[in-house]
Amino acid sequence: MVLKGARAATYTTSLMQAEELWHAAKKVTPLASPILRYYSVMQAAQAVVVSSPLANSRWQATKGHGLTLDVPMIKGGARLSLEQVFIRPAGEGMMAQKLAEALETPLLSQRASLIELIAALPVQSLLTDDADLPRKPLSVTPASVGIEYHGPQLDLNRVPPSLARVDARGWAVAPALDEVLDVLSAYPSLARLPRPIKVIANPNTSEEYGTTLHLCWEREKFFAYSEWEHFLDIWTVPRSIHLRHDGLVLPAVGGNDQPQHPLVTWYLVLYAFSILARYHGAHWRQLLDYDENEDAVALRRLVDRESGAALALAEMAILEFLAQEGYSELH
């Protein structure tokens, strides 16, 4: 595949604009920076779409964001809550839809709350409590051979509190297998696994990992690491057949039956922040006020630091497209 003409020009211009907008955002406070950061990521998303395998007749998005934000009317000086803000797709063939199409990932099947989408981000410090809901990415460690049952084993690290049980001695005890599988049903990649035969709790809990549960399969069943890859959404360390590795699985959002690519999730979150900053400025300022909102520090960090993950994800997507067989250099 060769990019040339308008497609190549759009690719180059989009990346330049994304970088300039991101640098411009560093010069203003979070009161206004979400506007610039969203448009930076929007331009980066356009570069992702342009560099994707989409045919020349399909890569161009129609004008518009492809999204709508539902914000309730708040009266009497009450503070807007992020749980009250909902995002839903709107229109066809716009940037949000094209980005999802290029990445072969679902967009929202139904409207989703902003807090649900933030929780699903692989990197975020706004929602760090141990509450079960909204669902957050789950850290897992696969092994081709488990310690106790000698079959495949999957460690669930820092499980949601509904699954973290302790006895009178303070040792972790395993919940019922069906309880575990019910929680894991919110993670489409894990839901594809064959049914395990047992769940075991690591009796020792730690401040870093909390409670760890081990899912075990029959001794005769064997997952090579290449097979485990089909059940993990994000590997966090290089893979090797000799070592155990941590990975992440992402929760389903917005009624999807498959995990949504985190770049799309960041696109949605930054779109919401930009609309709040532009059209609901008083509420947005209140959310950022240290005296008005106890989560203001974490929200500011999410907006101006952790959102950099969106550009990193865009770069990774472009590099993966360019590495595909048959893809020529840009012209």
Q: Which long-range contacts (CB under 8 A, 24 or more apart) does 32-36 make?
A: 32/277, 33/277, 33/303, 33/304, 34/270, 34/273, 34/274, 34/276, 34/277, 34/284, 34/303, 35/274, 35/277, 35/278
Note the pLDDT of residue 49: 96
Q: Among 49, 244, 96, which residue's Cα sits nearest to residue 236?
A: 244
Ordered per-residue pLDDT tens for the chain, 331 residues = 456 788 999 999 999 999 999 999 999 999 999 999 999 999 999 999 999 999 988 999 998 899 999 999 988 778 899 999 999 999 899 999 999 999 999 999 999 999 999 999 998 999 987 788 899 999 998 887 776 666 888 999 888 888 988 888 888 899 999 999 999 999 999 988 989 999 999 887 776 667 899 999 987 766 677 788 888 898 775 555 445 568 899 999 999 999 999 999 999 999 999 999 999 999 999 999 999 999 999 999 999 999 999 999 999 999 999 888 555 544 3
In sequence order, the 6+-apart residues with CB closer than 8 A to the CB of 188 are: 252, 256, 257, 258, 259
* CA-angle at 89, arms to 105 and 122, nearest 5°: 45
Decide: pTM greater than 0.85.
Answer: yes
User: Which string of b and e fits 213-229 if b means at least 16 CB within 10 Å?
Assistant: bbbbbeeeeebebeebe
- What distance in Å separates the CA atoms of residue 49 and residue 145, rounded to the nearest whole number? 40
- What distance in Å separates the CA atoms of residue 57 and residue 101, rounded to the nearest whole number? 13
- What distance in Å separates the CA atoms of residue 193 and residue 325, rounded to the nearest whole number? 30
- What are the extents of the domains in the chain? 5-129+255-322, 138-249
Beta bridge partners of 173: 165
Residue recorded with tokens 């770049």: 263
Q: Among 139, 120, 117, which residue's Cα sits nearest to residue 249?
A: 139
In sequence order, the 6+-apart residues with CB closer than 8 A to the CB of 111 are: 70, 86, 87, 88, 254
* CA-angle at 46, arms to 45 and 51, nearest 5°: 100
Q: How many CB atoms lie within 10 A of CB 75?
A: 6
SS (H, E, C) 196-235: CCEEEECCCCECCCECCEEEECCCCCCCCHHHHHHHCCEE
Beta bridge partners of 265: none
On the CB side of 295, CA atoms within 13 Å amount to 16
Q: How many CB atoms lie within 10 A of CB 319?
A: 10
φ/ψ of residue 141, rounded to 5? -130, 110
Note the pLDDT of residue 237: 59
